[in-house]
Chains A and B, each alone.
Chain A
């Protein structure tokens, strides 16, 4: 680390100590209120077994910024989620079969707190009350349900062929799991000590990520091989039509906290699709009129070319591989990881313009804003 990075890391630590000082105690609480995003985000670097901490505001002045600090974690970190207090981050280590727990206050992984789960863990999600973590184990066709307070796996549920994405609805009692190997979504009822698959729903090819709209009625699924987002009505447990055509090979998906919009990372297209989710009355979804539509598609290479500063020189075109995204709680800013250039792109959600880029580690896969109180 350079001297500047060390200084920034200390400043970040101090800042986060301040945040943590007013954060709620862990566990045992009623459902936490929605937290505001801080200026900070955490990214998993799949290619070098680390996580990066970045400051979103760092691109305001310079457009190109660097990560603030780097934290070593387990092998092949895939997805990351941060609890509402902003102190602990949970990272699935797909090459090591555990969840790394990062103490953001101390800026390091709590190695003794590693949570053993199934093989090849991919996406994870915290339950609304943050008492549980649900993880897709792509290496053994199960999901794990973990008790966050004790750091112990409570049970697993066999779900189907190569589970990747996880979403939770109905106050955490319904899990929506993408099955990459069979082009399906599994709807899984989660109990206190066991779970069961309620239904398998066919979707497009190679479904990776699932997002749950704020109402809890809709699940959006990126279908990498079919170049579309499928929409599932969770009340009727059925697929809505039409699907939403997006760019080539959609992978990551983020839904805004207000449930009104979504952002899709189109991997081989190097583009971002902005989706609108129209409000609907409960139980009033029509099977043939999906409330989700694409309202804009932004070519990331064009964005960069337009906005590069003259001093930077000519920008190489069309070299983006957008993998994942996260939207700030206020819905104003989105972050998108770029696997080919090892950067995080900062997008303005209103103008849909690129604000800047932050260099991170190798192959940035997972991304999450760090909440503040």
Chain B
């Protein structure tokens, strides 16, 4: 379903081909000289802020959605007896509501089960209302609670632009788009979720334990679901730190080590909203949204029959140092250095090049990553 915040059908982009990339690269200076307005950066003031161009009505709905996000769900709300958390915010909270999770119990647990893994519940509410922990079985895999900032803008990057990126990537580092019933997968560790509505409904059901029929008959009817979606779509991306400098030594190393092949720095998208009126905005998520093979050591589960166990979506790096540690899809990395060194498969040579850097160069690159 198209986002009410953005008219996806009317979105166009400059960046679809290599010439387009080049045009885009020179556009800012050309624009500055020619008097055309530069693209608007799409940040909030701080984590958890709404997109800066939301109208007053949209901001009000954003606030209503936040109330749904922070709400504790229980039996009186229709929540079932198996769940992982009582509210969205109890996991999505670092560094602020809407963020990632760092607690052990904010990780999603998955178990192999045929062609698709099964998500496990770690909590059980008995008939007296008491909640107890369910001990996890052996052989489970962990997925980290992702930060939600900026996902609304990731949702509206034109699918063609993302898919075309793969053909620009060199052999050996060539990712691939994940298609689900003709829709491009953008969300989740395996890029197997096409839009925020499906992402949200799945989370309400599997994480909060709300039955699908309750979502359909109660949350859709009373507007809670739509308000929650407006909140998620309205969350502004993290703004880079003042120290962020795309011309810094660290930024150049990021390119030299070919990190930017997969962690694509920038997209420019045209938004048609009540307040943006076909305006171009720039976002810097540092991801190509494609899946890449990350090596046997990083394998976990296949989330769908056509997604391999060692394939993972390139994680966005915006806000990196504030939404982690831990890092990587399973939180296995306790530091940025660990996260880089754990890159295998298509990224192995980048990790090897990082190892070969001097201490000074490593620190320059890490400082750049911390500034995103």
Using a CB–CB distance below 8 Å, which chain A residues touch chain B?
A: 46-48, 75, 95, 119-120, 138-140, 161-162, 180-183, 205-206, 225, 268, 319, 321, 339-340, 342, 362-363
Contact = CB atoms under 8 A, between A and B. Distances in A.
B90 A162 contact: yes
A139 B67 CA distance: 23
Contacts of B46: 321, 339-340
Contacts of B95: 46, 363
Interface stretch (B97-105, B183-191, B209-217): B97-105
B77 to A, nearest CB: 14
B48 A139 contact: no
B322 A363 contact: yes
Given A120-B102, A120-B103, A340-B45, A47 B241 contact: yes
Given A162-B90, A268-B49, A182 B103 contact: no
B321 A139 contact: no
Given A75-B325, A139-B103, A321-B45, A205 B70 contact: yes
Nearest to A321: B46
B224 interface: no
A153 B216 CA distance: 49
Contact of B104 (A47, A95, A139, A268): A139
A291 to B, nearest CB: 29
- Give the interface size bracket for B toward A: 20 to 34
Contacts of A183: 72
Nearest to A362: B241
A48 B241 CA distance: 11
Contacts of B87: 181
Given A181-B87, A182-B72, 17 more contacts: A46-B95, A119-B103, A139-B103, A162-B90, A180-B93, A181-B90, A182-B86, A225-B67, A225-B70, A225-B97, A268-B49, A321-B45, A340-B45, A340-B46, A342-B242, A362-B242, A363-B322
Contacts of A342: 242
Interface of B: 45-46, 48-49, 66-67, 70, 72, 86-87, 89-90, 93, 95, 97, 102-104, 241-243, 321-322, 325, 370
Nearest to A95: B325
Nearest to B48: A268
A139 B241 contact: no
Contacts of B97: 206, 225
Contacts of B89: 206
A139 B361 CA distance: 34
A245 B229 CA distance: 28
Given A139-B103, A182-B72, A161 B242 contact: no
A340 B70 CA distance: 23
A358 B63 CA distance: 32
Given A205-B70, A339-B46, A342-B242, A161 B90 contact: yes
B90 to A, nearest CB: 5
A47 B72 contact: no
A181 B85 CA distance: 9
A262 to B, nearest CB: 23
Contacts of B370: 48
A204 to B, nearest CB: 11
B291 to A, nearest CB: 29
Contacts of A321: 45-46
Contact of A47 (B67, B93, B321, B325): B321
A120 B72 CA distance: 22
